[in-house]
Amino acid sequence: MTSHHFRKRPVAVALLTAALALSGTVATTAAAQAAPRQTTAANETEFDYFAQNIPGLRHGSVFEAVTYERFDTLLKREGNYALLIGGPNDPRVQAAAASIDTAAQQYGVEKIYAFDPLLDGKSVDVRTSSIESVRQLWANLLPALNADTTPQFGAGSDPYLVIYNKDHRQGETEDRIVASLTALPGDEGFAEALDGVLSSVSTNGQAAVATQTQFEFFRDQMNGRHQASYKDADAYGSVILGEDQAANFALKSITYPELVDLLETPGDHTILFGGTWCHNTRAVAHEINDRAIAAGTDTVYVFDLRLDSQYVSNSLHIRDNAANSPLSYLYGDLVTQYLPGLRTQYQLSSENPGHKVSFYPGGDSAQPLAVAPKLQVPYLVRYNKDAAAPVLKDWVQVDQAGVVKEFMTEFWWIEGLPGSRSSKTYPATAQGDADWAANQQKQWAFAEAALTELDVFFGLNDGDQGDSDATGTADASGTGDAGGTANSGGTASGGSDATGESGVEGAQQPSPVLSVSDRLSPGAAFTLSGKGLPADTEVRVELHSTPQLLGNATVGAGGTFTFASRIPAATPAGSHHLVVFAEGREVARVAVQVNSNSANNNGANGAASSLATTGVESGLGGALGAAAAALGIAGAGLILARRKFGQRSAR
């Protein structure tokens, strides 16, 4: 197996549970689940939508179904694209698919992208639907498709295979449809017509047809949407998917009919409900991808419940109520038939109508309204249709009372960044400062819990590989489920650091560790040392929670650095963090105590602070200590977790 780097931030779950319970938020423990759901990547079954639905079509054909969102992006890209208008249920596609696939192979065509105008694979047709918002989707595509010297779409005999190039012209006139096919097998001249389509962009028998990988699609949409919404990269982060992930990418966008077919396909399948429009989905996209790769999960199927992937109207959002979305039955029928026992934060017993999805079964308004549980995105499941409970695993937070909470966080909290501060919510007062700091602690901790549970979901929780029973308990010796042990001296060590992530071959980047050599007080000098960082990189050091730049340092070839500075004179006494950034990403942090009386920042033992970095703001230390006291766990406040620095050159 190829070695994969990813940022892994496991937490001692039981302690975090107790700490957050004290502050009003309870983190998940898998032990709290009544029936732990387990599976392994080894049970995965490859899914081939076209081959499974078209007799005689080879497995791994050139056809790849695309959503409306992805089809729209293809019409805006440079180059020649081979596009199929139709899906496996289209009689023309059924008849011609094998012939097209054979000819495409001969011309070296790697992909023909198929957009099915039947959004549900059956009857919701963007060309003829009585639902205006559905018809508008086709209207949105026509200006590009008909930017041609001989417009062909909407004329009654639309082509079903085209070579499209947005920059192609005849003289001064746009001519985007380079070539097209309407003939069918059995028609006179079909073979010649098909050959003419592919040869129109060919040289020496090889067609110059471009491709768009799943990575390119998700990268462009997620990065572009995030950067358009959140301009301040220092506060919100900037690059969600980096170029280093291109070679190891598991996310795969699928259409509604693909999803239904997938749910009817034997074997284990990992499915992520969410969309590129959703900031909560974007928050964890790279973390889900990297963990899937590390766990040997080749594909995470991504289904967007908004069929147009826009955040403007609910009529195409199938997870909305029937009053808002005439297509809500697509969600209701799917959940009722395939996802029994779906665990969601919103309960059907809630009096709030927005906490459930009302729908007419089968879309028949003569039927009584039914209701289905309403999942929130991102929502990640492991599914097997033949299991007694088809949802083998779900990525949710469950407290000890069995109450479910879904992981809706933000990219900047996942990255350990500050986000923005509203003066209306957090005024520039001492109390406002305290409230904002408390909010940051809470949000960072929730993001950390989300990542910890991702480890559990993919079987990557240290010391318990391939098992969802990650109880996160700590005994009197201070040993937690993160694979790291903490002793009374205040140091932490990780069991798998030297050899890499358990279950993943090849050595990994060691966990960054920071040490502070001096007592800290306002205006006092100190020295910060680090090891296990990316070699030969420039890092910046900040004092948090209110970020203050202290300076820069260079990490040597061995991954170590030494940085000397002073604590700003205006720094208030109390708990703070020294945070190290590389290439715009946080790579390490250490909790420190600043005292006006120059008390040692590591407590009475006088030892220098040597804390393994953790994505949970260590300002939770007080809560953890309180939790430890409440639980009576000796040394529990010293349990530390580790976070891996993902080597993402373009991030």
Average pLDDT, the chain: 80
Nearest Cα to 7, choosing from 351, 396, 463, 451?
451
pLDDT (0 to 100) of residue 511: 65
Residue 323 to residues 126, 130, 133, 314, 326: CA-CA distances in angstroms? 21, 16, 14, 10, 7
pLDDT in tens, 2-58: 333 344 333 333 333 333 333 333 333 333 333 333 334 556 668 999 999 999 999
For residue 364, pLDDT over 90 is answered with yes
Nearest Cα to 380, choosing from 367, 369, 393, 365?
393
- The Cα 335–Cα 29 span in angstroms is 26
Intra-chain end-to-end CA distance of the chain, in Å: 24
pLDDT (0 to 100) of residue 312: 80
- The Cα 399–Cα 312 span in angstroms is 34
Check if the beta carbon of residue 96 is closer than 8 Å to that of residue 50.
no
Cα Rg of the chain, angstroms: 27
Q: Which domains does the chain have, with CATH numbers?
A: 13-36+433-638 (2.60.40.1930), 78-207 (3.40.30)
Q: Maximum Cα–Cα distance for the chain, whole Å?
A: 94
**Residues 420-426: contacts with CB under 8 Å, at least 24 apart:** 420/232, 420/235, 420/236
pLDDT (0 to 100) of residue 620: 34
Single pTM value for the model: 0.69
pLDDT (0 to 100) of residue 595: 84
For residue 525, pLDDT over 80 is answered with yes
pLDDT in tens, 303-319: 999 999 998 888 999 99
- The Cα 303–Cα 306 span in angstroms is 9
According to the per-residue pLDDT averaged within each range, which of 35-44, 186-195, 510-519, 536-545 is highest?
A: 186-195
pLDDT in tens, 438-477: 999 999 999 999 999 999 999 997 434 333 333 333 222 2
Residue 60 to residues 50, 184, 395: CA-CA distances in angstroms? 9, 22, 31
pLDDT (0 to 100) of residue 546: 67
Task: Report the half-sphere exposure of 159 (CA within 13 A, side-chain side).
Answer: 20
Q: Is the dihedral of CA 175, 178, 179, 180 positive or negative?
A: negative
Q: What is the mean pLDDT of residues 83-105?
A: 97
pLDDT in tens, 573-604: 877 888 888 866 678 888 888 887 544 443 33
